[in-house]
Structure 1
Amino acid sequence: MRRSCVPAPRSPTRSAKFWTWYRARARRCPSSSSTCSSDSQMLMWISGLGCRRRASPPQSSFRAKLSSTPTQRFTGTWLSSVPHPPVSRYTEKLRQQLGRDSKFVLCYAQKEELLLEETYTDTILELVGFRNESLGPLGSLACLLDHCTGVLSEQGETIFICGDAGVGKSMLLQRLQNLWATGLLDAEFKFFFHFRCRVFSCFKEGDTLCLRDLLFKHYCYPEQDPDEVFAFLLRFPQTALFTFDGLDELHSDFDLSSAPDTCSPWEPAHPLLLLANLLSGKLLKGAGKLLTARTGIEIPRQLLRKKVLLRGFAPSHLRAYTRKVFPDRAVRERLLAQLEANPNLCSLCAVPLFCWIIFRCFQHFGSVWDGSAQLPDCTVTLTDVFLLVTEVHLNRTQPTSLVQRNTRSQTETFRAGRSALRSLGQVAHWGMEKNLFVFGPEEVQAAEMQEEELQLGFLRAVPEQGLDGDRQSYEFFHLTLQAFFTAFFLVVDDKVSTQQLLSFFQECAPPGGAGAESCYPPFLPFQCLKGSGLAGEDPFKNKDHFQFTNLFLCGLLSKAKQKLLRHLVPAAALRRKRKVLWSHLLASLQAHLKNLPRVQSGGFSQVQAMPTFLWMLRCIYETQSEKVGRLAAKGICANYLKLTYCNACSADCSALSFVLHHLRRRLALDLDNNNLNDYGVRELQPCFSRLTVIRLSVNQITDSGVKVLYEELTKYRILTFLGLYNNQITDVGARYIARILDECKGLTHLKLGENKITSEGGKCLALAVKNSKSIFEIGMWGNRIGDEGAKAFAEALRNHPSLTNLSLAFNGISTEGGKSLAQALQCNTSLRIFWLTKNELNDEVAESLAEMLRVNQTLKHLWLIQNQITAKGIAQLADALQRNTGIMEICLNGNLIKPEEAKVFEDEKRIICF
């Protein structure tokens, strides 16, 4: 990955200015106006910063009693546990307030409240060191406050929790509040004070207040005996827990360097000074203090007790969150299957914020539970997801109140955020043009991006080593976000020309040349990939970021998005860009298919398409234009479309169906060795009425997907070939396949190897094979049908009119099953090839097979590789060949025979032992 490395001074955020001011204060020696000569002197002075106090007011009667009673000989821990009615009453009030405030969480869109208990899910917590090196996972929230786990400095006072936007920092603190309010957090804490750092930005330069006022007047006031409650807090600070959320949201330009040094709990000071002294331990030393901030924000090391990094959802967390959002098991499993098959959505779901947005998209568009055979009227596209991502982030900056929530429409939100979106788009486009994904402060400044726009959550800080030391750089939170904002810039910027609009399609085209010009229209977006490499072309170069930009460009210029975008860009410019894009896309698709090589095989005109073809279909699908889909279908002339090893996922099946359901002729579709899963099978439903050949081997398909195949394929009954090798099909799915075989009278090939079918499923399939008059080939390699299943297939073989090729290899078949098969073959004249490799067949079975060979003259190939046959059994087979002229080979490699024993059979060329 290339990075911008032009040296430039760091552009500090306002929270960074706060720490600059804090360090500057620390360097001022109390005995002199000169600064300390070394860091060690500075740190020594920080430890005593602000300890000069004015005369304290008289102690309360409660505190005086504590200091004069015999209980002084006991520890402070014991004293803190002694019942104190004023403290108990205040603790109960705090619990009620925090319980009420933490019960509900305002959703990211700020339009509704959700129950915390039904929403909160643990995320990955990782302990890190001063240099962000990993120190191992943090097991639970309880370990967060543990005095032994992950402590970096015993003198440090602050537990610092950092993480990217949307990983759940605020939710974690709210969960802690809720646990404390319900009595499930450490009982040592009698007080819990929660502040948002942005509140400290509300105070003016001349504002002052004391610690007592900050806690009581600006948080929760004790209704009785406030002096005694405050005295208890000062005497036992370890009974208090403070949480400060969002240091990165601290915006203050006030210069407090002239403020007098103070850390007295009674003396008024600026609130920022109170915050700094609370975090450093100059106030309420020993109290628990948790501070959160986004990645890239750092605090002085001398403040750190622990540092914890939030990394979002692990797969187990994602499943737990899915259970909460989608209680219905069937819906949940379908959703997870789609996420696992779509790496783009799945990687986004590692971030709780994005996960919530994606789940909300599914809920809104109803695509999770839509089981209809037709394309849904409202289909969620990747562009829809990212538009909602953008809307949510823009709305999070809006102020909220108790009585009014955000009611802005999506159009109003985008119109209000147009300047921020344009700046983000300019940075994203600049990086995409130069193949850069990390931006220095100079690029950010060139786009005239404001600090509040940096805080929206689309960019995250990346510490980068430059020529002048550390410098602050930025990257988009996800590569697809950069692609989205690049496309957004191309759409809304009036100065973008036609050539610029299509420039990233050109990035995916082959290098120019005489041949290229004759085969491709201008700015052709996709490589033909005929198999011969182009000189100078890097075959391993990843161009997905360009492809995603093109994808989002098609989505943003779709008809459905015009209502939103017409408030951001003139309608005439939108129409011009749409017309150019559609014409270009259709011409490119036709040229791509026209130049792919074709193979005539089995009555089919077969074309081997490439991954670039799928990207084309994704772009067409993103337009959601039936007209574009119909025109694209007309360009598909081949009747056998092969898309093996294309890394296709379930989302690609949606794109395939969007185009293929417009075909008016029958088609063979080969999708072997991809990542479709059951959801992908469902997405293919609209085009099943056209498919005579369906190959879905190695695609993580389960019984649920097989059920969909049964329901759809038996409607049309045109199927001739069904390939489901190496999936996750059990006996349940085998029963559905048997019914397909019963009802689809033209089915000739069935591939079911490497599944999880046992004797029960084998019996069902064998009965269907027995009744079929058309089946030509059955592949059952690598299941576990055993002897019972083998006996059922023996019955199917007896007098079967059409079955020619049968594989029962690696199925746990032993003596009884083998003998049954051999006996049945004496009555069979159709079978030509029989594979029994890797079973448990012995000499007794070999004897039965020898008897069969004396009768059956039509079997051509018999494979008995890797069984338990010895020289004795092979001798019987060799003897039978003296009366059999039809068999061409008997393969016996890997059986229990020594090389010297095999020499006896050298004259019989049809016996292959080694």
Structure 2
Amino acid sequence: MEKQGHSEMETIPSDSPSYIKLLKTHRELLVTHIRNTQCLVDNLLKNDYFSAEDSEIVCACPTQPNKVRKILDLVQSKGEEVSEFFLYVLQQLTDAYVDLRPWLSQISFSPSQLIQSKIVLNTDPVSRYTQQLRHHLGRDSKFTLCYGQKEEVLLEEMYMDTVMELVDFNNERLGSLDSLACLLDHATGVLDAQGETVFVCGDAGVGKSMVLQRLQNLWATSQLDTGVKFFFHFRCRMFSCFKESDTLCLQDLLFKHYCYPEQDPDEVFSFLLRFPHVALFTFDGLDELHSDLDLSRVPDSSCPWEPAHPLVLLANLLSGKLLKGASKVLTARTGVEVPRQLLRKKVLLRGFSPSHLRSYARRMFPERAMQDLLMTQLEANPNLCSLCAVPLFCWIIFQCFRHFHTAFEGSAQLPDCTVTLTDIFLLVTEVHLNRTQPSSLLQRNTRSQVETFRAGRDTLRALGQVAHWGMEKGLFVFSQEEAQTSQLREEDLQLGFLRALPEPGPGGHQQSFEFFHLTLQAFFTAFFLVVDDKVGTRQLLHFFQEWAPPGEPVATSCYPPLFPFQCLGGGGLAGGDPFKNKDHFQFTNLFLCGLLSKAKQKLLRHLVPVAALRRKRKALWAHLFSRLRSYLKSLPRVQTEVFNQVQAMPTFIWMLRCIYETQSQKVGQLAAKGICANYLKLTYCNACSADCSALSFVLHHIRSQLALDLDNNNLNDYGVQQLQPCFSRLTVIRLSVNQITDSGVKVLYEELTKYRIVTYLGLYNNQITDVGARYVSKILDECKGLMYLKLGKNKITSEGGKCLALAVKNSKSIFDIGMWGNQIGDEGAKAFAEALRNHPSLTNLSLAFNGISTEGGKSLARALQQNTCLRIFWLTKNELNDEVAESMAEMLKVNQTLKHLWLIQNQITARGLARLADALQNNTGIMEICLHGNPIKPEEAKVFEDENRLICF
């Protein structure tokens, strides 16, 4: 067969373009590979090459091969033009005749102008289904739902990119993601070329679902040029609607529960199975599955026709056992981990930076006066700005501002005191409860907050009941029956807290509901626990068991497992399950602390009997103190000569958030007392700017000096502002990899120079320019005890480098300077050379990857001839050549105190190596000269193998 097929694909002579002969010669190839005859008949009819009678003759044939043979007979009998058009249809409809692409290419078919002027109808089921999917996704992604069922906003007007970072398996930053198209780019941020899943993670409210909606919209409007023909979007929470006994085959999951092909579903599915790489699946909210999903324990289901439970199909789609080669984008909240072998790339969503916030304000409020009024109020309240770093909370705050502006005739006023997240959610609840009140131009609604909540008590309690029921069951989707059981009325649904799903749930055709966001469900759960008289102490504190330190017994689950096997991650809630995220429980705890705080009693005593309220407050505080003490005792500690260091975990951040919600100084003091350490390490805790408010609320009670390590979080400039109450205590401040700009550095300058106790300042891998470098120089000038300064991987050029070098030159205390990955160039290097000359304290210096070439390198070498203090000098990844190596060799004849010299990845050849080797004959102090990555051949380096201080490979 292979030989026959090869002979059939031989090209006809170019001087004999007989299309009839071509069809005759390759007749069996065409009969074998043409599966879609209807498309050919439609086009031949459309262009009057076939009559209605011809079409009937073809349709009367009993089998597909017979239909192809009949079409070929009729086409050939009608002459060259019809035969040429037949080939033209095969060429143009690539999806319908995909198997003939190699043959058409090999015969070099080139249609005449006459044939190219003919209309080709694409009635192919695959192409039609692609268009159907585009229409389906375009319709569903064009608008985004807001609070209120009647409010729909164009996605184009609402969406804005946030800070998106490519990270590695250990969440180390690899760089920024410039656009959503880069998510599917095979050249950007790939961790494993064999992986098929792009994993997008981030905190609740940071915009993961919006990213997928925008991605769908781009594909639907043909703005995403990725070669994707099929786009299937699933929300993982919808899989909770299936019963344990439900089974589906893959074709039914994709078509019956997503978008059913208008024609020939079997042919479309067959194409998908043959070419899975043209399909893109998006799965939103892996952490919102009803059960844990352990890929290693889910039954394999590699047969696409074999019925299985939908969760089994989901697991096997993700693992690649089904439709291997299809691309997937998966979202989940921070803390959820996916097996490395599945991941192609990993993206961390960081939310809004200060510049994003300003852009978003312009997007939401086109009127300049409204923009100015809003930003003036926000900038006067850094606490509110910090909350606005989370896009969801930002949108809620903006919506409240818009409401006030409308309701109070242009005199909108956001809260100007300390604002907690509970305050914001109480505010938005009040706003939407008031929407039900009649209003007119002559009479404004003037109800107080107490009156509004008292009037809406039954509605809020009903919403709270369904929210609590779902939270206990681990469900985020509710049936109509469940809503009715909670005594929700139709008018309650219209408030906008619950929204109807755009399509029926997979469990049936009954209407389903969900809360606008899981944080809203958590808020109403907490509200129910507070206001319902029947809720006892044990039920009130149920979700706090998530805080149990290692070794403490904890209930394995809030709800029974859905299956005898466990899906996507084994173990109970406290069993270290990498797939389980507890944010919905933690938000409930946070809102409980806020609602039972002293400041909220004036409101709640009108909704709850005072005795019941007092009892719940007392129980919560006692439990909070007990858990806090237990947790702090469980934290790992490291004792050094200088510091008693405690390594905190993300759970500690949640505890701080809850403590801050109480706004109780007593609770803050007790928390501070329990830390019992002078070095607090909070790296990789996913802390955001709002968390700095909570951190300051506790740490300002510590009277002794303190070291604070917040590297690798997401604090940005607003976070730095929120740390202001702590700076009078901080001697060590580590803020590397935190999106900090010059504005944040200005705050550091203003605060640190007040107290002048800082000894370590870490600002590596931020967004600091020469402006910020000048502020850092002033800190170095005025803080006489500053010993360590880390400024690598910022945006500092020669101007900033010269400012810093001058400050270093004048400092008598600086010990270690890290400037790796800036662009100070030769001018900056010359300035640092002046600083090095006779410097009394600088021991470690990194100027690696700074664009330093010959002149800068020689200046540094000459300066080191007059330096007896520097021990470690890194000049890796610059543009240093043999001239610099010769200057370094001359320096080594004089300088006997330098221990480590790194010249890795420069332009030094064997000539420079020889000069350095000669210099070592007269130098007993240097311990190593590293020359990896220079253009030195192994045989050239072998000459100096006896000098083990020269490291070339």
TM-score normalised to structure 1 length: 0.62
- 1:787-837 Cα offsets, whole Å, 9 max, x none, are 111011001000011100000000111111100000000000000000000
- SS of the equivalent of 1:722 reads strand
Equivalent in the alignment of 2:372? 327
* Inter-partner Cα distance in structure 2 for 1:606 and 1:768: 31
Q: Does the C-alpha gap of structure 1 residues 702 and 366 become closer, same or farther in structure 2, counting only changes over 3 Å?
A: farther
- The one-letter code of the counterpart of 1:457 is G
* Inter-partner Cα distance in structure 2 for 1:533 and 1:840: 55
State whether residues 853 and 881 of structure 2, in contact with CA within 8 Å, keep that contact through their aligned partners in structure 1: yes
Cα distance, 1:506 vs. partner?
A: 1.4
Equivalent in the alignment of 2:780? 741
Cα distance, 1:716 vs. partner?
A: 0.6
Higher relative contact order (CA 8 A, sep 6+): 1
- SS of the equivalent of 2:675 reads coil
Equivalent in the alignment of 1:422? 461
* Inter-partner Cα distance in structure 2 for 1:615 and 1:842: 52
- 1:505-556 Cα offsets, whole Å, 9 max, x none, are 1144369xxx526x99xx9xxxxxxxx9999541330100000000000000
Cα distance, 1:907 vs. partner?
A: 1.3
- SS of the equivalent of 2:894 reads coil
Cα distance, 1:632 vs. partner?
A: 1.4
Are positions 1:445 and 2:484 aligned together?
yes
* Inter-partner Cα distance in structure 1 for 2:885 and 2:134: 71
* Inter-partner Cα distance in structure 1 for 2:433 and 2:862: 75
Q: Does the C-alpha gap of structure 1 residues 162 and 823 become closer, same or farther in structure 2, counting only changes over 3 Å?
A: closer
* Inter-partner Cα distance in structure 2 for 1:164 and 1:618: 26
| Among candidates 516, 519, 532, match of residue 552 of structure 2 | 516
In our comparison, the structure showing a higher alpha carbon Rg is 1
* Inter-partner Cα distance in structure 2 for 1:398 and 1:638: 54
State whether residues 358 and 385 of structure 1, in contact with CA within 8 Å, keep that contact through their aligned partners in structure 2: no
Q: Does the C-alpha gap of structure 1 residues 791 and 366 become closer, same or farther in structure 2, counting only changes over 3 Å?
A: farther
| Among candidates 857, 882, 886, match of residue 843 of structure 1 | 882
- SS of the equivalent of 1:802 reads coil
Cα distance, 1:348 vs. partner?
A: 4.1
Equivalent in the alignment of 1:773? 812
- The one-letter code of the counterpart of 2:617 is R
Q: Does the C-alpha gap of structure 1 residues 704 and 163 become closer, same or farther in structure 2, counting only changes over 3 Å?
A: closer
State whether residues 814 and 839 of structure 1, in contact with CA within 8 Å, keep that contact through their aligned partners in structure 2: yes
Q: Does the C-alpha gap of structure 1 residues 358 and 695 become closer, same or farther in structure 2, counting only changes over 3 Å?
A: farther
State whether residues 342 and 651 of structure 1, in contact with CA within 8 Å, keep that contact through their aligned partners in structure 2: yes
- SS of the equivalent of 1:327 reads helix
Equivalent in the alignment of 1:346? 391
TM-score normalised to structure 2 length: 0.60
Residues 41-190 of structure 1 correspond to what in structure 2 (within 5 A)?
132-134=136-138, 163-166=145-148, 169=151
State whether residues 749 and 775 of structure 1, in contact with CA within 8 Å, keep that contact through their aligned partners in structure 2: yes
State whether residues 348 and 354 of structure 1, in contact with CA within 8 Å, keep that contact through their aligned partners in structure 2: no
Moved more, 343-352 or 631-640: 343-352
Are positions 1:912 and 2:951 aligned together?
yes
* Inter-partner Cα distance in structure 1 for 2:813 and 2:871: 15
State whether residues 383 and 552 of structure 1, in contact with CA within 8 Å, keep that contact through their aligned partners in structure 2: yes
- 1:620-658 Cα offsets, whole Å, 9 max, x none, are 000111121112111110110000000000111000000
State whether residues 877 and 906 of structure 2, in contact with CA within 8 Å, keep that contact through their aligned partners in structure 1: yes
* Inter-partner Cα distance in structure 1 for 2:673 and 2:604: 31
- 1:387-442 Cα offsets, whole Å, 9 max, x none, are 01101111101111231011111110000001100100000000001000000011
Q: What is the RMSD of the two structures over their aligned residues, measured on CA atoms?
A: 3.2
Equivalent in the alignment of 2:858? 819
Q: Does the C-alpha gap of structure 1 residues 321 and 359 become closer, same or farther in structure 2, counting only changes over 3 Å?
A: farther
Are positions 1:473 and 2:512 aligned together?
yes
- SS of the equivalent of 2:873 reads strand
Equivalent in the alignment of 2:738? 699
Cα distance, 1:897 vs. partner?
A: 1.2
- The one-letter code of the counterpart of 1:719 is V
- The one-letter code of the counterpart of 1:781 is W
State whether residues 148 and 495 of structure 2, in contact with CA within 8 Å, keep that contact through their aligned partners in structure 1: no
- The one-letter code of the counterpart of 2:372 is P
State whether residues 673 and 696 of structure 1, in contact with CA within 8 Å, keep that contact through their aligned partners in structure 2: yes
* Inter-partner Cα distance in structure 2 for 1:667 and 1:640: 6
- SS of the equivalent of 2:466 reads helix
- 1:311-359 Cα offsets, whole Å, 9 max, x none, are xx99865542267433279859969998897588412445797464799
Are positions 1:387 and 2:432 aligned together?
no
Cα distance, 1:601 vs. partner?
A: 2.7
Are positions 1:487 and 2:526 aligned together?
yes
State whether residues 554 and 622 of structure 1, in contact with CA within 8 Å, keep that contact through their aligned partners in structure 2: yes
Residues 295-310 of structure 1 correspond to what in structure 2 (within 5 A)?
none
- The one-letter code of the counterpart of 1:594 is K
Cα distance, 1:483 vs. partner?
A: 0.3
- 1:691-727 Cα offsets, whole Å, 9 max, x none, are 0000000000011000100110111111000000000
State whether residues 543 and 589 of structure 2, in contact with CA within 8 Å, keep that contact through their aligned partners in structure 1: yes
* Inter-partner Cα distance in structure 2 for 1:772 and 1:797: 11
Structure 1 consecutive aligned stretches of length 4 or more whose deviation exceeds 6 Å: 127-131, 335-341, 357-363, 532-535
Cα distance, 1:480 vs. partner?
A: 0.5
Cα distance, 1:130 vs. partner?
A: 11
Cα distance, 1:466 vs. partner?
A: 6.0
* Inter-partner Cα distance in structure 2 for 1:663 and 1:336: 24
State whether residues 318 and 350 of structure 1, in contact with CA within 8 Å, keep that contact through their aligned partners in structure 2: no
Q: Does the C-alpha gap of structure 1 residues 734 and 359 become closer, same or farther in structure 2, counting only changes over 3 Å?
A: farther
Residues 1-12 of structure 1 correspond to what in structure 2 (within 5 A)?
none
Equivalent in the alignment of 1:543? 582
Residues 244-283 of structure 1 correspond to what in structure 2 (within 5 A)?
none
Equivalent in the alignment of 1:560? 599
- The one-letter code of the counterpart of 1:654 is S
* Inter-partner Cα distance in structure 1 for 2:376 and 2:658: 27
Residues 512-911 of structure 1 correspond to what in structure 2 (within 5 A)?
515-516=551-552, 536-911=575-950
- The one-letter code of the counterpart of 1:481 is L
* Inter-partner Cα distance in structure 2 for 1:128 and 1:413: 47
State whether residues 357 and 388 of structure 1, in contact with CA within 8 Å, keep that contact through their aligned partners in structure 2: no
- The one-letter code of the counterpart of 1:723 is G
* Inter-partner Cα distance in structure 2 for 1:795 and 1:533: 61
* Inter-partner Cα distance in structure 1 for 2:548 and 2:472: 15
* Inter-partner Cα distance in structure 1 for 2:661 and 2:848: 45
Q: Does the C-alpha gap of structure 1 residues 137 and 457 become closer, same or farther in structure 2, counting only changes over 3 Å?
A: closer
* Inter-partner Cα distance in structure 1 for 2:396 and 2:594: 23
- The one-letter code of the counterpart of 1:843 is D
- The one-letter code of the counterpart of 2:885 is A
State whether residues 490 and 496 of structure 1, in contact with CA within 8 Å, keep that contact through their aligned partners in structure 2: yes
* Inter-partner Cα distance in structure 2 for 1:574 and 1:761: 58
Are positions 1:435 and 2:474 aligned together?
yes
Moved more, 848-857 or 338-347: 338-347
* Inter-partner Cα distance in structure 2 for 1:739 and 1:579: 50
Q: Does the C-alpha gap of structure 1 residues 425 and 344 become closer, same or farther in structure 2, counting only changes over 3 Å?
A: farther
- SS of the equivalent of 2:501 reads strand
- SS of the equivalent of 1:471 reads coil
- The one-letter code of the counterpart of 2:762 is G
In the alignment, structure 2 segments of 5+ residues that lack a partner are: 1-130, 158-351, 559-570
State whether residues 702 and 728 of structure 1, in contact with CA within 8 Å, keep that contact through their aligned partners in structure 2: yes
Q: Does the C-alpha gap of structure 1 residues 883 and 764 become closer, same or farther in structure 2, counting only changes over 3 Å?
A: same
State whether residues 749 and 776 of structure 1, in contact with CA within 8 Å, keep that contact through their aligned partners in structure 2: yes
State whether residues 167 and 353 of structure 1, in contact with CA within 8 Å, keep that contact through their aligned partners in structure 2: no
Are positions 1:454 and 2:493 aligned together?
yes
- The one-letter code of the counterpart of 1:780 is M
* Inter-partner Cα distance in structure 1 for 2:899 and 2:365: 54
State whether residues 166 and 352 of structure 1, in contact with CA within 8 Å, keep that contact through their aligned partners in structure 2: no
